[in-house]
Amino acid sequence: GQCRNVCPTGAIIIKNENDRVWEVVNDRSKRVIAQVAPAVRVALGEEFGLEPGEVTIGKIVAALKAIGIDEVYDTAFAADMTVIEESKEFMERLSLGEDLPLFTSCCPGWVKFAENKFPDMMDHVSSCKSPQQMFGAVLKEYYKNEKNNAEGKETVVISVMPCTAKKAEAAREEFEQEGIRDVDFVITTQELALLIKEAGIIFHQLEEESFDMPFGLASGSGIIFGATGGVTEAVVTRLLKDKPDHSTKDILFKEVRGLENLKEAVFNVDGKEVKVAIVHGLKNTDELIKQIKAGERYYDFIEVMACPGGCVAGGGQPIPVNAEMRRERAKGLYKLDRTSHIKSSDKNPIVASLFEGILKDNHDLLHVHKKQGNI
Ligand code: SF4
């Protein structure tokens, strides 16, 4: 049926996939896996009378289990993989001095905008798939061999996203190999709230549950992906040999946090000065790129999020939203980073074991090889 989502990035017709959720959870031939993006956990509560920024991940996991999802994982886990791959790509380009700046690629609203408006800049957009797509590809690969054959089940990956553009991203042709999609379908935070209501679940009465293992373990860096500046902070943290503690991070990353239209900072990585910019909102992005092309500005690394404030204020999040709510939701994510056991993406032991295991000779799973798509 119709839903009330409004896409800020131009994909006007947005399909509500809740009927498909009910269909697959009732089909015993399917292993149904959900991944939940960071920003969902600091906003879903608003649909149930909680304050913006209040973290509800334990209840979200419990709700998804009650709905009939078999395994529930954290998209922040995949964000750790993105950080590692993107850092590597950045350092390679930096050492060659080629194709800089490197733009982030995790926001499909931005990627689509770049394809339409600045196709000549596409070589500068990271080849990394977004965390949603990396996760889907890895899950399908993992279960293809491990369990599917043994149990005769087909794996279905559902993403719970703050974002309407993620639906179009999941449907792009480059994210399907031999008829198997990385991500089968996407529901938004608003649609999850509807599902919970449709199921008759009393949200505030749910007992909290933790993510499943092995893919439920994420670093704090993976979690702050949901706020503007978070990807930059995660990448720089990964690149620094001496990992900063939280009070050092508050000082080091002061310039990359917050809601200014354009944020700039300089970091010293391996004795090299790295100039970064963080922009959010497509109008701000447009202005910035024009200035870069005119030679008025120079950066090595640029983080772009299409939604003002980043994914915490994505088009699939509860509405209305204002600057104060954006700040409160982001605060919820930074709080999770502070209390996380794992401080940097490269310290995530499960990610490390994947890089030694199924990803060892198969890094292709994590990269896009075709930039012109169909969204
Ligand atoms: Fe989606 Fe907006 Fe986040 Fe981009 S910034 S990934 S469009 S929610």
DSSP result, 141-156? HHHIIIIIHHHT-EEE
CA 81 to chain centre: 11
Question: Could you tell me which of 350, 355, 375, 353 has the C-alpha nearest to residue 365?
Answer: 355
Residue 149: what are its φ and ψ, rounded to 5°?
Answer: -65, -40
Question: Could you tell me which of 339, 74, 75 has the C-alpha nearest to residue 212?
Answer: 74
Which residue has tokens 């969204």?
375
pLDDT of amino acid 375 = 38
Please list every protein residue whose CB sits less than 6 Å from any atom of ligand 1.
9, 107-109, 162-163, 165-166, 305-307, 310-311, 314
Q: Closest ligand 1 atom to the C-alpha of 9?
A: 7
Residue 4 inside a domain? The answer is no
166 is catalytic: yes
What is the best residue among 134, 167, 307 to mutate for testing ligand 1's pocket, by most ligand atoms within 8 Å of CB? 307
Residue 293 inside a domain? The answer is yes
Q: Closest ligand 1 atom to the C-alpha of 161?
A: 8
Residue 7 inside a domain? The answer is no
pLDDT of amino acid 11 = 47
Task: Give the type of residue at 365.
Answer: L
Q: How many domains is the chain built from? A: 1
pLDDT of amino acid 372 = 44
Catalytic residue among 46, 159, 311, 345: 311
C-alpha separations of 69 from 156, 159, 182 in Å: 10, 11, 17
128 is catalytic: no
Residue 355 inside a domain? The answer is no
Residue 276 inside a domain? The answer is yes
Centre of ligand 1 from the C-alpha of residue 318, in Å: 14
Give the pLDDT of the chain (375 residues) as one tens digit per residue.
344 445 555 444 557 889 999 999 999 999 999 999 999 999 999 999 999 999 999 999 999 999 999 999 999 999 999 999 999 999 999 999 989 999 999 999 999 999 999 999 999 999 999 999 999 999 999 998 665 566 788 999 999 999 999 999 999 999 998 899 999 999 999 999 999 999 999 999 999 999 999 999 999 999 999 999 999 999 999 999 999 988 999 999 999 999 999 999 999 998 999 999 999 999 999 999 999 999 999 999 999 999 999 999 999 999 999 999 999 999 999 999 999 999 999 999 999 999 999 999 888 899 997 544 433
Domain residues for 190?
Answer: 18-344
What is the best residue among 311, 317, 319 to mutate for testing ligand 1's pocket, by most ligand atoms within 8 Å of CB? 311
192: domain CATH number?
A: 3.40.50.1780
